Structure 1
Amino acid sequence: MPKRFAAGLVSGAVLASALAVPSLAQDVAVRGGTVHTMAGPAIEDGVVVIRDGKIVAVGPAATTPVPQGLETLTAEVVTPGLVDARTVVGLAGYLNQEDDQDQLDEGAPIQPHLRAIDGYDPAETLVDWLRNFGVTTIHTGHGPGTLVSGQTMVAKTWARTADAAAIVPRAMVAANLGPGSLGDEGGAPGTRAKQIAMIRTALTQARTRAALDNTERDQAKGTDAEVPGLEEQVMREVIQGRLPLMVTANRAQDIMNALRLKEEFGIDLVLDGAAESYLLLDEIRTAEVSVILHPTMTRHGGDYQNASFTTAAKLAEAGIPFALQSGFEGYVPKTRVILFEAAVAAANGLPWNDALETITIDAARIIGVGDRLGSLEVGKDGDVAMFDGDPFEYTTHATGVVIGGQVASRAVQ
């Protein structure tokens, strides 16, 4: 066990927001008995120095001076701020009432133009709750339930407004295959073949029309160029590789359907859920796609009936890039906690450091923000999580959270 630091720790502590809103102070140092930078070996008795919201120094305390006057927080274990690679928190609220459930609109089967930022509530209690477990960044947005449910965003878990929270306002387009998005009885899509046909139609239309420049379209129609609708504009961005298509697919046949779309259209594909991905390791690796794996402890029923606690370990062994997620839950409190999901994956064959990577640097890379988040390195955002022991032990507590150099949460009695 790392050396325990007495200062700044409260046994059995809980976290509370330091202030109701972010403070102006952005210079702070964090000292840990063990600092897991996720950019190299762990540092014993390490220090992270943050100025103007960015990390300016990381190293052993003996050789990494803390500038005079900086507040220094201490903890037994320090990690990068945790990154939840897939959630609906901020659109889905903890009350589980109609007025705080914006993660799904069932008005039409394909709605790629719905933007997560327009439904995101940074003051939602669940955002605060996740942050108090060390989660500083979430990839959130429209959830499963329709064929193409909308867009996702990447947000920090401490901000006054959705615009201030968003670091990637438009991250991915969320599509969903399998029984969960077959629609009502008698409605579209109805079958798996119709699901793929409808997505293929939308992608084909976007690709065909995008191939015509304004002159060619004018000549063909003899009129001014037609302005594509919002739905088509977004699907063009998918075709052009400007927005990844994140496809929730859990059963092997649905995963193969998603891989087939990638091959046919050359799109940037991210697999979400992927409960039966252990049956298709060669195919997924050959397709060179990343996986945002379902929560380790997801209930093994319905679409997840063949889920396994050991899938994370198998993906790691196969060399497939993947991250863990909290996902979507239909019941209160509407979310899981990635810290616990990674801990159970570590208890079922995934090496400890690999498990931490799935909720830090690997998650950041897969959602497109690995250049600024997910590891404690000079130049990256000053996002830090602090713990009073091994983060994956059930009796460990989060004792502090720093986001962009601001002390967002700290331990209180």
Structure 2
Amino acid sequence: MKPLAKILGGAVTALLISTSALAQDIAVRGEQVWTMGPQGVIADGVVVIEDGRITAVGPYADTPIPTDMTVLSAPVVTPGLVDAHSTVGLTGYLNQPDDQDQLDDSAPVQPQLRAIDAYNPHDRLVQWVRELGVTTLHTGHGPGALVSGQTMVVKTRGNTVEAALVEDGTMIAANLGTWSLDRSGSPGTRAKQMSMLRQALVAAQSPVEGEDDDEDGARDLVNEAFVSVIRGETPLLVTANRSQDIQSALRLAEEFGIEVVIDGAADAHLMLDELAASGVSVILHPTMARNDGEMENVAFTTPAALAGAGIPFALQSGYEAYVPKTRVVLWEAGFAAGYGLSPEQALASVTIDAANIIGMGDRIGSLEVGKDGDVALFDGDPLEYTSHAVGVVIEGEVVSDAVR
């Protein structure tokens, strides 16, 4: 089979990316097609995409391909990768003040800040992760404040944020522990962090009917955001690494009956029973995160421990305070596979499991009929460091043929 780079010239691909061409009718053939769905791994398989959606998946010999449809080929084909939590698009690759929009530290609680207002689809990091097979980002405001803002789901393409957008206001990002403490202000302690969160949720629990607006008709955007959490419309994404902070997040979920997703969770392997009993999902820190400070208990074997305990989890690129500002989830998954995860579990943590946790499992994360035509092509085992991404398709549009 010819690699994708041999089928499409670089000039053609550049045109597709710069013009955000409409979805193509296209088929993608692989010596191995890892569907991450009920069909498992298909030897010599093919994925047929029409009008941006998958219309057929199966063995090449038995799956009809419309006449004259372009067929791309690669040794290994997988679903487009899903980054379960990122700040890509808000943290620019230059690491300069003018391209760092993941945090506003003017107040400790700002759930009204929308990721859509800060996302830059032209930032080099968006292109970088796309070329490595990442087709979907759950991105938004990062750590550093008690409630730093909202997240959203985007595809890694598009000339505008509207063209990239899948869902606005996916979760509200909260942060417990030292990252969001202000020793000279508020909150200055963990107890004050929890008190402030409780106060905001209590205020949202019982809004006075007919008095949602003040006398001037102004909306309370902060309270509106917390009301959506209380109503079960928006999960609270709580970054908590130490066990005491994870426990506080679980207690908050039980107390208010809200959906909480635990993020980071460096100490997760120390409290598997509690996490399993709570029923929460975990977006685990990058496997290779630096183990200092709140991350001192990071373990390479934590993904396997979560899988063994039956706790739903996904891997993420997370937030980095230094250049190049992000990690690549495929490499994190590959490392986890070397420490106890099976290849299927590792790939699931950055495809279907990630999609399910961010509420997108009915649309992305696996190669199944009816889902978005998001496909990544590799010249070998995608979990091996020596393999390369050789092509990326988003909703039937070839967005990269770079060999990365």
**TM-score if structure 2 supplies the norm length?**
0.95
* Distance in 2 separating the partners of 1:89 and 1:227: 33
Superposed CA offset, 1:78-108 (max 9, x none):
0000000000000000000000000000010
Equivalent position SS for 1:127: helix
How do 1:173-322 residues align onto structure 2 when only pairs under 5 Å count? 173-183=172-182, 185-209=183-207, 212-214=208-210, 228-322=219-313
Q: Distance in 1 between matches of 2:215 and 2:18?
A: 52
2:27 equivalent in structure 1: 29
Measured after TM superposition, the shift of residue 411 of structure 1 is: 3.6
Identity of aligned residues (%): 59
Spell out the pairing of 1:8-407 with structure 2 (5 A cutoff). 8=4, 17=14, 18-40=16-38, 41-183=40-182, 185-209=183-207, 212-214=208-210, 228-407=219-398
CA distance in 1, matches of 2:133, 2:343: 17
1:286, distance to aligned residue in structure 2 (A) = 1.1
Q: Structure 2 vs 1, CA of residues 149 and 396 (structure 1 numbering), >3 Å: closer, same or farther?
A: same
Contact preservation (8 Å) 2:5, 2:391:
no
Deviation at 1:338, TM superposition (A): 0.2
2:348 match: secondary structure: helix
Structure 2 CA distance for aligned equivalents of residues 96 and 6 of structure 1 = 38
Gaps of 5+ in 1: none
Could you list the runs of 5+ residues in structure 2 that have no partner in the other structure?
none
Contact 2:18 / 2:159 at 8 angstroms: preserved in 1? no
**Could you tell me how far 1:169 is from its partner in structure 2?**
1.1
- Equivalent-residue separation in structure 2 for 1:318 and 1:391 (angstroms): 26
**Partners of 2:17 and 2:157 within 8 A in 1:** no
1:20 to partner: Cα distance: 1.9
Please tell me the residue identity of whatever aligns with 2:200: A
| Counterparts of 1:291 and 1:157, CA distance in 2 | 23
Asked whether the equivalents of residues 27 and 52 of structure 1 are also in contact (C-alpha less than 8 Å), the reply is yes
CA displacement at 1:6 relative to structure 2: 3.8
TM-score (normalised: structure 1): 0.93
Query: Which whole-Å CA distance do the structure 2 matches of 1:402 and 1:32 have between them?
Result: 14
User: What is the total number of aligned residue pairs between the two structures?
Assistant: 399
How many Å separate the matches in 2 of 1:38 and 1:95?
35
Cα distance per residue 1:172-228 (max 9 Å; x no partner): 000000011002x3200000000000000000011122xx322xx59xx9x979765
In structure 1, C-alpha distance between the alignment counterparts of 2:17 and 2:322, rounded to whole Å? 30
CA RMSD of aligned residues (A): 2.0
1:411, 1:181 → 2: CA distance? Answer: 39
Query: What amino acid sits opposite 1:331 in the alignment?
Result: Y
Q: What is the distance in 2 between the residues matched to 1:327 and 1:234?
A: 23
Cα drift, residue 349 of structure 1: 0.4
The amino acid across from 1:213 in the alignment is: E
Moved over 6 A (4+): 13-16, 223-226
Deviation at 1:24, TM superposition (A): 2.6
CA contact (8 A) 2:82 2:134 kept: yes
